[in-house]
Amino acid sequence: MARTSTPTSTTKTLLKPEFFNRDTTLVAQELLGKVLVHRTTTGIISGRIIETEAYLRDDPASHSYIGPTKRNGAIFGPPGTIYVYFIYGMYWCLNFATRVEGIGEAVLIRGVEPLEGIALMQQRRGTGNIHQLSNGPGKLCQAFAITGEHNNTPLNQKIQVYDDGVTLDFITTPRIGITKAADLPLRFVAR
């Protein structure tokens, strides 16, 4: 993985809610290189974020488009609020709400590079292939043991994101798996 810069120290700074209280596209881009952590009862699982997508207001592809409901309420929560939704009857997907409370925008975490807890991820995913552990939104939630119980909870409780000084080059593409607003360049993938 190409890195445009490496950490100058081992400092790990937890992202504050204010990080998410900004332009959603910018947040999606800047989350690349940050480290996602889940402190589970069986151990710490972590990985570096390498793929994200932005979902905006007035965006037909966004779950928030229809306005606040019981399902999507977390998207309208305070910045950094965790939004986990169940999809295709089988998988969970992880998002972080952006902008001030009341604004329905979020960033979908689509892929991470495994760091800590790889054995736990392999166990949960049922494969030993490192490259198949968390390279998709449903896969990473399975690997990280992230489910609906985490929906609509604040950042930095059991699930955290920290900055260790790494920034990643990225490319921009249309979002995956959507039929509405499918042309918008709101997917960001680390090179």
CB of 36 to DNA, least distance (A): 14
Q: Decide whether 35 or 140 has the Cβ nearer to DNA.
A: 140
Binding site for DNA (CB under 7 A): 53, 55, 61-64, 66, 69-72, 75, 83, 85-91, 93, 95, 106, 108, 125, 127, 132, 136-140, 175-179
> In whole angstroms, how close is the CB of 60 to DNA at the nearest point?
9
| CA geometry: angle 35, 65, 108, nearest 5 deg | 15
Q: How far is the CB of 105 from DNA (least distance, A)?
A: 9
CA distance 190 to 147: 25
Q: How far is the CB of 168 from DNA (least distance, A)?
A: 20
Task: State which residue, 37 or 54, has the beta carbon closest to DNA.
Answer: 54
Residue 64 or 81: the one with the smaller Cβ distance to DNA is: 64
147: its two tokens: 């489910």
Give 115 or 178: the residue with its C-beta nearer to DNA. Answer: 178
- Determine whether 31 is exposed, middle or buried from the number of CB atoms within 10 Å of its CB (0-12, 13-18, 19+): buried
> How far is Cα 39 from Cα 168, in angstroms, rounded to an integer?
25
Alpha-helix runs per DSSP H in 3-117: 17-20, 24-30
